[in-house]
């Protein structure tokens, strides 16, 4: 009886090890592809938030940027800046990825949601809808007239806070350019 139990434990352990090794191998193959797809989506988002953009250069600075800011880009022909952000909404372990365009006058050109996989489907994902995103166009750092979405307060508040952080990054980028 004890031999049968020991044999079962060994078989289960071997199965678990084989499955773990297979999953690690699959992750090793797919991780670079996923990273490449994410980088492509983020690059495309930059062009979506600054109309007529030619290309972007990453702004390097020694200044500390707000926590939600992933990167700041300057549009090469001088049309403004694009800021990539991670907004921690409903699922803070899977933040929303947002691109915000800001023109040289300090007004938002457009906001774009690259991903919001951690938000509740049909509720928190409303932040990616045109009804919400259109509220930001033309707004300055005061974000007057931009309110949270009823029923999606956590997600929309996180989004609004991240957009506010984009203005901090914008100021740093402008100073670095001067």
pLDDT tens digits, one per residue of 71-83? 999 999 999 999 9
Question: How do beta strands 56-58 and 108-115 pair?
Answer: unpaired
Return the closest-CA partner of residue 116 out of 141, 165, 82, 152.
Answer: 152
pLDDT tens digits, one per residue of 36-81? 877 788 888 899 999 999 999 999 888 888 889 999 999 999 999 9
pLDDT at 83: 96
Query: By three-state DSSP, how is residue 75 classified?
Result: strand
pLDDT at 43: 86
pLDDT at 152: 85
**Which pair of tokens denotes residue 116?**
């919001």
Does 11 fall in a domain? no
CB 126, CB 147: distance < 8 Å = no
Does 35 fall in a domain? no
CB 107, CB 136: distance < 8 Å = no
Does 25 fall in a domain? no
Does 114 fall in a domain? yes
Determine the Cα–Cα distance for residues 161 and 94; give it in Å rounded to an integer: 16
Which residue range forms the structural domain that includes residue 98?
47-177
Does 27 fall in a domain? no
Determine the Cα–Cα distance for residues 127 and 150; give it in Å rounded to an integer: 11
Length of the chain in residues, anyone?
A: 178
pLDDT tens digits, one per residue of 7-33? 888 899 999 999 999 999 998 888 888
Confidence of residue 164 (pLDDT cuts 50, 70, 90): very high
pLDDT tens digits, one per residue of 128-140? 889 999 999 999 9
How many domains is the chain partitioned into structurally?
1
pTM of the shown model: 0.80
Q: What is the largest CA-CA distance in the chain?
A: 80
């Amino acid at each position: 009886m004890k031999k049968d139990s020991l044999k079962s434990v060994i078989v289960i352990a071997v199965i678990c090890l084989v499955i773990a090794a297979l999953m690690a191998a699959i992750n090793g193959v797919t991780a670079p592809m996923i990273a490449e797809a994410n980088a492509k989506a983020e690059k495309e988002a930059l062009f979506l938030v600054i109309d007529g953009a030619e290309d972007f250069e990453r702004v390097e600075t020694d200044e500390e940027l707000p926590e939600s800011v992933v990167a700041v880009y300057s549009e090469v022909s001088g049309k403004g800046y694009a800021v990539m952000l991670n907004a921690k909404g409903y699922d803070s372990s899977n933040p929303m990825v947002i691109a915000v365009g800001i023109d040289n006058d300090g007004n938002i050109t457009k906001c774009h949601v690259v991903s919001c996989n951690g938000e509740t489907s049909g509720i928190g994902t409303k932040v990616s809808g045109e009804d919400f995103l259109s509220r930001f166009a033309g707004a300055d750092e005061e974000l007057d007239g931009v309110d949270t979405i009823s029923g999606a307060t956590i997600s929309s508040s996180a989004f609004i806070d991240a957009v506010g952080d984009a203005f901090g990054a914008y100021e740093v980028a402008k100073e670095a350019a001067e």
